[in-house]
Every structure is written in structure tokens, then in C-alpha cells.
A and B are shown apart, each in its own frame.
Chain A
Amino acid sequence: MVEPLHEVLARSALVSLTATVIASLIGITLGTVLALARVRGRRLLTAVVNTGMAVPTVVVGLVVALLLWRSGPLGDLGLIYTVRGMIIAQVLIAAPLITGITMAALQLLPPELPDQLRSLGANRIQLVLRMWIEARLPLLAAAMAGFGHAVSEVGSATIVGGNIHGQTQVMTTAIVENVSRGEFGVAILYGAILLVLAFVINGLLASIQQRGASWAQS
């Protein structure tokens, strides 16, 4: 049975957007800690994050699949070949990227800014919130990069999701399947629609980003 295109598209958007939101929460928090706090093992953690940014998505998919496999350590959760399992994999793919960009963005702010905010009477939470606002444009770029990474990957979606029609098939796995069947016309259509999805979401974020940038510089 061929699943209606709009359902595959909706599932792709759901998986990638959910993963991006979760990865942003994790990545921005972790990136802030690594950029601002004097935590023990910071160098090691930074190295792990940097490595995480370069790990092939298929390797992430393999690790997540081994963990979620029915006989694996998290098999009882029943997440293999589910949308939730795919979201977990995409979170692990996007989070290091968002963490790394967040860390760099906060470190590029004027070095005296944290002390300036402290001296103006900001408590710890007010200080971090203001730092995020000051770095809002690169933080938005981090989320955009995370979404782009998540929505375009096919390795983990195939391994963890299984490309089950009506359940876990997303745009990228559908394209691979159609190519393997020789249905190039359908594959090109899916590819074009995926491009439009990515363009619309990134365009939305980019317009917010540019509005912020032009206001700050005007």
C-alpha cells in the first residue's frame, strides 16, 4: 500500500521539529554550561561535543538501534521501529551541533558581558537569559542547523524507524525506497517537496533572524 504523500510529509515534519525542539533544549543548556561555567572536565566534554558533530548519522542510528533493539538494554521500552525511537536518534544527531554552535556563540560575546550583567545586579538566571538574548541570532542559527541536519538524514531513520509504510516512513526513507525501485519521478517529487519543507521552515527562522539583526544594527 502506498501511503499518501501528505502523511509522510507530516511525519517528517513532526519527527524533525520535535527532535529539533528537544535537541535545542539540551544543546543550548549544555552549550551554555560549557561556555560560561567553570566545570570540571570541560575540555573533555567539549571534545565529545565536537566529535559528536562529525559522527555519521548512520552510526548514530546503529547505536540507537542496538540500544532499542528488543533484546537490547532499552528493548523493554518498545521504541524500535517507532516514531519516538526516530526522534531519539535525531535528537542525538542534532544536539551536538546545537551545543557546539551555542558554545561558540556565547564565547563570541564581549568577554566582559557576564561581569557587566552581574555588576548591574543580574542574578544567575537573569544573567543566562540575557546572554541568550544577546546571542539570539546565532542561537537561532544553531536551531536551524539542527533542523537541517535532522530533516535531511536518512541513515538513522532507516535503521531505527525501519521505513514502515503508514508508521515510520519519512520523506528521506521514501526517496531511498523509490530510487531503489526505479521510481525516479516519485523520488524527485518527494525530494522537491522535502526541499520546499526545509526552505519554508528555514526561511521562517531566517526572516526572524534577519529582522533581529537589522534592528540591532540600524
Chain B
Amino acid sequence: MGAELRLTDVRHCRGGREVLRVDALDVEPGEHLSVLGPNGAGKTTLLRLLAAVEPPSAGAVTVDGISTSRGGVELRRRVAYATQRPGLLSTSVRRNVELPLQWRKVPRKLRRELAMTALERLRVADLADRPARALSGGEQQRVSLARALALDPAVLLLDEPAAGLDAQSRSAFFADLDQALADRAITVVQVSHRADEALRLADRVVVLLDGLVHQVGTPETLNRRPADASVAALVGYENLVDVVVQPDGAVVVGRAPTGLTSDRPAGPATVAAFANGIRLVADDLPGVPVRISRVSPGPGHRAVTVDGAVSLLAHVPVHAPATLTGESARVVFDPALSAVLPRL
């Protein structure tokens, strides 16, 4: 059964500088929470506080109501923390997984069974007798995760679990992680600087910037209604454009219509738009006038860069009519793939 995590009025300082400030954050038992933020946002610090490896400078972090500052070893043993670097010990793979079980006084036969089951789940059982430090990066990540899961923790903390893996290994790793977590009701907190990783497993996502919580919401909310331009950029919106919301709700660039409407108060605003939400239309149709400055092939699309009233990146389907560098065109924004946000 997963545990409930709660942070209340947490302030954490390092070297005299505040690196994390969380007024209130609850994670329900069994919930999968992702923390999304750029490097240096305070993500790892948040995990370290939850893992009870260091106490907060102020405020309270609790696991099922027990403060991490007072919980001691027993509390730490309910929380498994897989750090960004796998941190495997200089012994065999099997021994790496068995050792934390031995510290918990699990009988020898049972800990061997648990270790092998966890290694099998992560598809690294055949490496059980190999020296752990001789494995590849991807194999080490899997062993690190198997070691955490073998403990049957109430809380699993994952710090950039696929860091350093190539795209293919990353995808396979997350598929196996999904499967390993599927039949478990444990609370999971995963941090990542990549939106695709943060959104894929999460029930909710916390966006952390400069040590502050900018937004908490479901992956759907973050995708459709990012709180501001910083969050939108993190979520993966490729385009941020200064616009004006008119009194009738029309969103314009200069006087040119964007194809968007908004119920925000009239005045300056920012539009965040995914590259595949930018439509290129003929020069004589309503839209924002632009000139095509570059066309380059991408996977399943053509990446078209435009300049003019706005600078944008558009992903045009490969089957669309060819666009040429130097041509004039107009752009409109797809409302389903764009969001009107407050101007920063």
C-alpha cells in the first residue's frame, strides 16, 4: 500500500540561498506524481527531502503523518529512492539487490527470491552474477530500479530514471517501468526535465521553476492550459508569441487575426503554440503575414521557420503542398494546440 506524502511550509536553503519553497503539496497514497522542471529548479532537493536523507531547513515533510526529521531508519526503509546516477556498489548485480534486503533482516532464501524476481521484472536476471559496475548505463539503471522495487516500498522516488540513455533504450526502459509498477499500489514521485517523461506516468504534474511551484495539475491541464509562458516552454510548446486580446475577445498580432479568441481581459498577452498547431495558409487569406525563411525535413513532417510579424516554427505534414524559402504566406493558430497566457 502506498503512503501519503505531505509538504507543509517547506523552505530549504543551501549555502545561505533558498533553493526550494513549497507552501503545500500533498501526494495521495498510490498516486503517481511527476515533478517537471529545468536543471537547478530544486527537483532533486525535493526528492532528497521526501527520501529523508536531509531534513528541510524549515517546515514539515511527512510520510503517512510521520515527520521525516524524526522517522529515522524505519521511515527511510519505507521509501525507496533511485538516484539519478544508478550508484551501484562494487559487487555483483544480485548482491546489489540483496544487500538492502539483508539490512532489513530478510532471511537469506527469501531475499534471493525477491532479488531474482525484481531482476526478472526489469529483464536483467541474466546479469545477476556479473559485477554491477561492468554493466552498460541502461543495464545499471534497470538494476538500480530493480533494487528499489525489490524492497516493496510504500513510496518510490525516481530521479531522472532514464538519464543518459539513448532514445530507444529510454523508450524500452519506460515500457518496463510501466509494467513493473502496473500491479503495485505504491506512491511514486518521479522528477524529470523532459515533458514527455514527466507526463507519461503521472496522475498529476508539479512544475518547479527556481525552487518555486508554478503549477500543479493533470497532464491534460498542463498540455491545454499551462499557467504561464515558462510552464508552456517546459511542457514543450515550441512557439511563444506576444499578442493583444481585443475587447471582443479576438487575439491579434498588430491588426492581423490569429484565428484565436480568448476570454482573458483585453490587453497584452502571450500565445503559446505547438509547432504542429501552426497552419500556413495562402497569402490572400486572413492570418498573420510572414515570410518563409527556412524549410528542413523532420521525422514525419517538414520543419518550417517563418519570420515577419512573428517568428515561428511550424511542423507541416510531409504530404502537404511544398513550401519554398522566400515565399510569403499567412499563419493562423489551431485553438486546440495553442493557449492564450498572461504576458510575462
Contacts A121-B76, A123-B73, A217-B133; A115 near B53 (Cβ below 8 A): yes
Contacts A112-B87, A121-B104, A126-B103; A215 near B131 (Cβ below 8 A): yes
Smallest Cβ-Cβ distance to B86: which chain A residue: A116
State whether the Cβ of A113 lies closer than 8 Å to any Cβ in chain B: yes
A-B CB pair tally, cutoff 8 Å: 60
CA distance A116 to B89 in the complex (A): 10
Contacts A122-B103, A123-B73, A130-B89; A116 near B83 (Cβ below 8 A): yes
Q: Are B87 and A113 in contact (CB under 8 A)?
A: yes
Chain B, residues 86-107, CB within 8 Å of chain A (1/0): the string is 0101110000000110011000
Chain A, residues 103-137, CB within 8 Å of chain B (1/0): the string is 00000001011011011111100100010011000
Contact of B76 among A118, A130, A216 (CB under 8 A): A118
Q: Are B103 and A123 in contact (CB under 8 A)?
A: yes
For residues 173 through 218 of chain A, which have their beta carbon under 8 Å from a beta carbon of chain B?
215-218
Contacts A119-B51, A123-B73, A126-B103; A218 near B134 (Cβ below 8 A): yes
Contacting residues, chain B, for A121 (C-beta < 8 A): 73, 76-77, 100, 103-104, 151
- Looking at chain A's contact residues, the main secondary structure is helix
Contacting residues, chain B, for A217 (C-beta < 8 A): 131, 133-134
Q: Are B133 and A216 in contact (CB under 8 A)?
A: yes
Chain A, residues 83-120, CB within 8 Å of chain B (1/0): the string is 00000000000000000000000000010110110111
For residues 38 through 55 of chain B, which have their beta carbon under 8 Å from a beta carbon of chain A?
48, 51-54
Contact of B83 among A119, A133, A134, A218 (CB under 8 A): A119
CA distance A118 to B100 in the complex (A): 10
Can you report 16 residue pairs joining A to B where beta carbons are below 8 Å apart? A112-B87, A113-B87, A116-B81, A118-B53, A119-B76, A119-B79, A119-B80, A120-B99, A120-B151, A121-B76, A121-B103, A122-B100, A122-B103, A123-B73, A216-B133, A217-B133
A residues apposed to B, CB below 8 Å = 110, 112-113, 115-116, 118-123, 126, 130, 133-134, 215-218
B residues apposed to A, CB below 8 Å = 48, 51-54, 73, 76-77, 79-81, 83, 85, 87, 89-91, 99-100, 103-104, 131, 133-134, 147, 151, 157
